[in-house]
A = this chain, B = another copy of it.
Amino acid sequence: MATTSKSSSRKPKSTGDQTWVYRFADVDKAEAYCDGSWDGVRALLGGKGANLAEMTRIGVNVPPGFTVTTEACNTYSKIGKFPDGMWEQVLTALKSVEEATGKKFGDDTNPLLVSVRSGAKFSMPGMMDTVLNLGLNDKSAAGMVKLTKDERFVFDSYRRLVQMFGTVVMGIEDEAFEDYLTEAKKVYRVKTDAELNAEAWKTITEEFKTIFKKEVGEEFPQDPFKQLELAIEAVFKSWDGKRAVDYRNAAGISHDLGTGVNVQTMVFGNMGNNSGTGVAFTREPATGERVLFGDYLINAQGEDVVAGIRTPSPIAKLKEEMPAVYDEFEAIVNRLEEHYREMQDVEFTIEQGKLYMLQTRDGKRTARSAIRIAVEMAEEGVISRQQAVLRVSPGQVSQLLHPQFDEGAKQEAAATGRLIGHGVNASPGAAVGVAAFDADLAEKWGKAGKAVIMVRPETKPDDVHGMLAAKGILTSRGGATSHAAVVARQFGVPCVAGAEGIDIDVRSRTLKAGDVIIREGELLSIDGGAGEVFKGEIPTVEPDFEREQFLQKLLGWADEFRRLNVYANADYPADARRAREYGARGIGLCRTEHMFFQEDRLPVVQSMILSEPGSAEEAAELEKLLPFQQDDFYGIFRAMEGLPVIIRLIDPPLHEFMPSHEALALRAAGLRLMGDRPNELAQIEELMVAVKGLEEFNPMLGLRGVRLGIMRPAINAMQIRAIFLAATQLSRERVRVKPEIMIPVTSTYMEVKTLREMVDKIAKEICEESGVEIEYMVGTMIELPRAAITSDKMAEYSDFFSFGTNDLTQTTFGISRDDAEGKFLLEYVETGILPENPFQVLDREGVGYLVDLGVKQGRKANPKIEIGICGEHGGEPKSIEFCHNVGLDYVSCSPFRVPIARLAAARSALIDDGFSSK
């Protein structure tokens, strides 16, 4: 049952008499058609169909049915009609179901009712259309009433068919039906659907048929075969519907897979109080704890649970209400988890005390639970450690390390009345944003860069685009398995669901919680882990990595598997300590200029900049800075004892340390008018000249990095002295230090040669003075195209290369990140001119070409060279995969991303070695 994420390339063996329809019981035939590949079966039947067939095969009680293949869907998409022979095969399969159930489709006395559901290879919850109770019409409804003696149930079912068929198949707005239903409940003076009696449902069914006719222009079809035909076609069509396409785009699912259509005997959870329906997970999807978790509703159909319209009961309560059913259910789901070796998400229906399984699939889960489940399953011996590592995505690690609210701030907010509501902790994480009351606005604001909390009474598949663009989701209805909760968990968006104390009024675009009113555009904070809703903004803090024991264990395994080393970018001792705690095995980028910006140093830095290069004044100012830098390096070296620390010499252009010319000009103009402080004016005017002299049209491409090192060598010399003074100091204190000096912005090997000579000279002097030997390395950033192109020469003078892919992306594309992202880059990604933002995901085609060239040439010229990456891509999983493939030695990223990088590196290595998650 090996499945991979690739779609099967299998072709039909014959076109004339192709099999378009497989009964659940025919799983062996489907498997044979797919040459024994379970992945092939999933591709052919869709995940839902394949699992129904598989459950049937292992003897679980599944209502009989059959699956129309994804190939039929794809053929339909191409030719615009059912493929030849498909309908006939549907009828044959239906006959077989009739035989199995003893019922007859369209029969007036003992009618077979079926559901029609989509099911693609990859689960797309709520994205595809479902129609229940097909086979009902006026006559068979009457027959059913006779048979079941339950008019209320029959007309509740019939009205559902009309409603679902009307909305899903014919495209009527759901409000048309729901508004009427709400009115009806008022008329009947009841609060819930369950209180409506048979007469009411009968009237409602008639009214629904009238609505149907009014909206569609035709009568509701009384021919069950017509119902079936239209429903299958609707599923096919929905594959290419906007919301399905959007979802696939967002989730990275290929558009050419197609969906299967599952036609299955209806069983009824709404046949009285010994009936019910529910969904459950074999483990807790938010925490991963090994307990059965789920919701059910007595006397309801499945859609009622998923849609979150009624708030259901927790599955544990079923043990009290129907202990025998519960025991059977527990046994089945445990068996399913064992069989699939994965946490399962199941749907079940109890029809008059009899348990049916309607679906099983790998369960969606939060990042936290995914990690715990993977680790515990590996420890239970169900899967291997390699599989465990492959079952957790770097994105999930990232979610787990999302910022959390500051506890103190939360308590203070609660104390001051800003905690305005509680709901289900549906998807963990802290989110702050402005309230947006519909998906379109949430999307619009989100794309414009606003942090948005999408606020809805409940969410529907149509809302997914807004949910994806939001920082958080708040609903007032539905539980932990509601649409909002499932989608939010999958995409790692914090979510509080079913916050019933909060009144969300979409029309007036406000939410009310007691006295508090929050209007659209006002700030809101939600804690998806605690289920709390706050007015205004709560400050966030970093997550507590130490307490994430399952993650720590998983990453420990990952460290055994990965071949890329993981370093961190850290400028201060505190960063370095955190990086180490997060598992960094070195500092890949320590920026030295941040130290220059500190308040107590900046005036000295400015005087130094304004002094004549090579002058005594310059030397004097640098002498003042030296102890500061030495302290900085001392702290970092100490924090990273025994591990390499790569220190980049000063990088930014000097004018970054100076005030802006415009600000000075305005001050000068002011002083001139007042006319009473000539000295200050003269000073400012002098400063303006100096600042003008330092200004550049394109500072990114100006006098910075090594160019500064060559034009004002004294600055670099001071930095190098500080490094070796700190190193020798620590060495005398018996702390092992591994300084590596990195030269930025090089474009010719001569720059590297010049700086390397400077480093070697100063190192020699200081080591001789102090009588201590320091092992060190000198390397260069490869962050300009020419550096990559001439990497063979660069390598001759370099102990290591570090690809600075931020700048390399800027120069390879000729795009300044500061200027581009807002001005055109997002639009480029949006309209597909670029597949991804190259500053987020390394552009393999362009930038990657240069990285590959740089590695190949560099290693050829200097086989001992160490090569890594220290751009932001170093913490991005797809980019890390590239780094692995291209043969780098290490990636370096921000401390918070180190765990992500450790996992991503391990996954790349495992995939490289042929491991899979299944």
Enumerate chain A interface residues (CB-CB to B < 8 A).
661-662, 665-666, 669-670, 673, 696-703, 707, 710-711, 745, 747-748, 750-751, 754, 783-786, 789-790, 807, 810-816, 818-820, 823-824, 827-828, 831-834, 843, 845-847, 849-850
Contacts and interface: CB of A to CB of B under 8 A. Distances in A.
How many copies make up the complex? 2
Contacts of A700: 697-698, 701, 814, 816
24 contacts: A662-B662, A665-B665, A666-B669, A696-B823, A697-B818, A697-B819, A698-B819, A701-B816, A703-B819, A703-B823, A710-B831, A711-B827, A751-B833, A783-B814, A784-B814, A785-B811, A785-B846, A786-B814, A786-B845, A789-B812, A789-B849, A789-B850, A811-B811, A811-B814
Contacts of A784: 812-814
Contacts of A790: 845-846
B812 A785 contact: yes
Contact of A814 (B666, B669, B745, B815): B745
A627 B820 CA distance: 32
Nearest to A746: B814
Given A784-B812, A812-B811, A702 B846 contact: no
Contacts of A696: 816, 818-819, 823
B711 A820 contact: no
Given A662-B665, A670-B669, A748-B833, A698 B816 contact: yes
Given A745-B814, A785-B785, A832 B697 contact: no
Contacts of A661: 662
B815 A747 contact: yes
B702 A823 contact: yes
A710 B824 contact: yes
Given A696-B816, A786-B845, 9 more contacts: A666-B666, A697-B819, A698-B699, A699-B819, A702-B820, A710-B828, A711-B823, A789-B846, A811-B812
A626 B208 CA distance: 59
Nearest to A751: B833
Contacts of A850: 785, 789
A677 B591 CA distance: 49
A850 B785 CA distance: 9
Contacts of A843: 786
A849 to B, nearest CB: 5
Contacts of A747: 812-815, 846
A815 B699 CA distance: 9
A848 to B, nearest CB: 9
B786 A812 contact: yes
A662 B669 CA distance: 12
The 4 closest A-B pairs by CB, nearest first: A701-B816, A786-B846, A698-B816, A784-B814
Contacts of A754: 833
Contacts of A847: 786
Contacts of A807: 814
A66 to B, nearest CB: 44
> Which of A665, A673, A699, A747 is packed against the most chain B CB atoms within 10 Å?
A747
Contacts of A813: 747, 784, 786
A710 B783 contact: no
Contacts of A789: 812, 845-846, 849-850
> Which of A673, A785, A845 is packed against the most chain B CB atoms within 10 Å?
A785
Contact of A750 (B783, B814, B833): B833
A809 to B, nearest CB: 9
A499 B703 CA distance: 45
A810 B700 CA distance: 11
Contacts of A820: 701-703, 707
A472 B823 CA distance: 49
A797 B168 CA distance: 42
Nearest to A705: B814
A693 to B, nearest CB: 9
Contact of A701 (B785, B819, B832): B819
Contacts of A812: 747, 784-786, 789, 811
Nearest to A820: B702
A688 to B, nearest CB: 11
Nearest to A847: B786
Nearest to A670: B669
A757 B356 CA distance: 56
Nearest to A849: B789
A789 B785 CA distance: 11
Contacts of A703: 819-820, 823-824
A810 B811 CA distance: 9
A660 to B, nearest CB: 9
A701 B702 contact: no
A463 to B, nearest CB: 28
A205 to B, nearest CB: 50
Contacts of A846: 747, 785-786, 789-790
B815 A701 contact: yes
> Which of A785, A814, A834 is packed against the most chain B CB atoms within 10 Å?
A814
A816 B697 contact: yes
A337 to B, nearest CB: 45
A823 B815 CA distance: 23
A833 B785 contact: no
Contacts of A702: 815-816, 819-820, 823
Nearest to A673: B673
A308 to B, nearest CB: 40
Nearest to A707: B824
Contacts of A831: 710
Contacts of A707: 820, 823-824
Contacts of A819: 696-699, 701-703
